[in-house]
Structure 1
């Protein structure tokens, strides 16, 4: 079976995204072909593909798939599978993409208990929804050079996160508050730590596992958001509130 995987090649700098993309070809017996979803003109006959898989890196909520590709996908008669993450962002755009592209199955991170609230069965009677995780531990992690024993690792607690906008709700703000609180607590107690949340402090590629192997422990914070912004109104509302409050710590909205 021939499977076309559409992805955004500008979004593969994170290890988990790249590993997830490679996993299809690595673990499946089917024939897999990869294509950047942002191509403005596509001279490929989609009839040769049995399945079209839209990877979560090609973020349908933000229009990462070109108009030319969307038209070809919608006309394709085979099975179409959508992987989606960050479903709290512009959820209605995901709905529209499922309809426009005639998606037959969606791999979602929304827990089954709450799926009906986000993807009502009455709205999507012919779409299969499958629960998946945001990422998986790659097998090649065992190929990494032998890590130091815990007692010899220079960093007691490590962490990398980012400051999130207010429209992600309390959960988004708690991630930053926890990181700041733990960093301060470590400094007061003389505990070695490497806890950062600024974008320029992010770690990618082979530097990430090396960073983890230097840490005795890592700080864990909840992921996601406790608010779903279906139509972008939360983006707009919080943007207005940030401007009116004149808060210099607030990030400008996209």
Structure 2
């Protein structure tokens, strides 16, 4: 939705560019340029500017140029290494600091924890089938679920593994699911491909439109030959934090996990193809060792102060205060407060109506997805009505 002109006209002490706003870089060049034009006041503002991108390997060159052009003061990267590759210009001009894909909500610490022995699910997992342009790292997120489910069923374990949108759980339902799982399966978040301007993503989408049943290997050969695996951009995911705090022992594809948890000490490592599942199964059988491991994992997560929402918010406010003291933004607190009140009063009902429509469209889309002809007809009608 369009930003009201009376907001853009204000002088601010700080402007935060969140992950949703920054996804504009991969939607399409027309949309991206329109977004930058609409929010050009941010570029021209003397306010402190802080950015929280994710999936930085997607259109990283566009993101890098954007951060430089808008003179962003600090970028919080969720990737713990390779900043010179992800931000070839900005890493020389700006300030890059480590951020995370999720943070600890203090209310989670008060949530009742079910004893290990009373949990009905042996291994729990949910994952989407990511497009091939996330590389093997993205592909592994769903293939490891498929492979573990097959072997775990053979071993007689009680498994609740679903792959795809149909198994999505949100809010308390998701936390209850983890709390009912003795073991939570997981994999690295991230990508093993670097796509500077989105060319790989566009090529993959075009190829899959023509060959929707193509395998990963076929897509790789057609769209990004010899490019897979040159890089490994990974980050710890919110799932790892939630499982640790709810004392669900974790079986994770071996990886960096932002340097916070380590294989053997905090989780059972599993190979991407689950070929060492017999070793995983043996480790799972030692209940006392698993309870000690979950305790160590929980302690490791809680020991990172920067992972807590409250600490992160305080740190950001301190950072803004420090940087703002060196600038002259000309912000008028009383005027800004009135603008915020006006914005909430005018825009909140519009946003609620927008998301109600969006929810309805998605519900209809899911309902008609099994009927391709009807699905395509509705999509065509929607494009015409726009």
In structure 1, what is the Cα distance between the partners aligned to 2:59 and 2:114? 43
Larger radius of gyration: 2
**Aligned pair partner of 2:179 in 198, 207, 213:** 213
Higher relative helix content: 2
Q: How many residues align?
A: 211
Displacement after TM superposition at 1:48 (Å): 4.2
Higher relative strand content: 1
1:50 paired to 2:13: yes
In structure 2, what is the Cα distance between the partners aligned to 1:246 and 1:82? 36
Kept after mapping to 2: 8 A contact 1:159/1:195: yes
Kept after mapping to 1: 8 A contact 2:76/2:99: yes
In structure 2, what is the Cα distance between the partners aligned to 1:54 and 1:239? 27
Displacement after TM superposition at 1:213 (Å): 0.7
Structure 1: 4+ residue segments shifted above 6 A: none
In structure 2, what is the Cα distance between the partners aligned to 1:73 and 1:243? 37
1:56/1:123 CA distance change after superposition, 3 Å? closer
Q: After the TM superposition, which of the residue ranges 156-165 and 128-137 deviates more from structure 2?
A: 128-137
Counterparts of residues 191-206 of structure 1 (less than 5 Å): 191-206=157-172
| Structure 1, unpaired ranges of 5+ | 1-37
Indicate the residue corresponding to 1:185 in structure 2. 151
Kept after mapping to 1: 8 A contact 2:77/2:97: yes
Indicate the residue corresponding to 1:115 in structure 2. 83
Displacement after TM superposition at 1:101 (Å): 2.3
**RMSD over aligned Cα atoms:** 2.5
Counterparts of residues 131-150 of structure 1 (less than 5 Å): 131-144=98-111, 146-150=112-116
TM-score by length of 2: 0.50
TM-score by length of 1: 0.74
Displacement after TM superposition at 1:96 (Å): 3.1
In structure 2, what is the Cα distance between the partners aligned to 1:41 and 1:49? 15
Indicate the residue corresponding to 2:58 in structure 1. 89
Indicate the residue corresponding to 1:130 in structure 2. 97
Counterparts of residues 22-33 of structure 1 (less than 5 Å): none
